[in-house]
Amino acid sequence: MAIQHAHPGQPVDVQPLGPRLALERTVALFKSEDLEVMRLVLLAGKSLPPHQVAGEITVQCIEGSIEVSAESRPHVLRAGQLLYLRGGVKHSVTALEDSSALVTVALRK
């Protein structure tokens, strides 16, 4: 299915996916001048390998729980918690249970 990115001012649902989670994939909600926002879907035990982006990011756990490792320090993020990481910091993400998270990336020019 083609992904329809949100336009400015258009409300997008970011509630927990609940029973649909296992059927969903990570999607970009929008990418604009300064910000990119995606909804990460990661099933229990799955990981995003270490990677980095130039700008700062926030990670907000919507449901489940994830471990965000940055600079070799693991941070457990539970539903309803948010953290930020400085730009250029290598980080990995592992789902401790079936999880979704909102990831906001500051796009550096």
Please say whether the beta carbons of 25 and 41 come within 8 A.
Answer: yes
Structure tokens at 53: 């982006």
CB of 58 to a copy of itself, least distance (A): 6
Supply the Cα-derived Rg of the chain in whole angstroms. Answer: 14
Element holding 104 (H helix, E strand): strand 99-106
> Which one of 3, 9, 18, 25 is in contact with a copy of itself (CB under 8 A)?
9
x/- contact string, 39-68, with a copy of itself (CB under 8 A)? ----------------xx-x-x-------x
Q: Which residues contact 71 (CB under 8 A, 6 or more apart)?
A: 89, 90
x/- contact string, 73-102, with a copy of itself (CB under 8 A)? x-xxxxxxxxxxxxx-x------------x
Residue in the structure block whose two tokens are 């990011």: 57
Site for a copy of itself, rule CB under 8 A: 6, 8-15, 29-30, 32-35, 37, 55-56, 58, 60, 68, 70-71, 73, 75-87, 89, 102, 104, 106-108
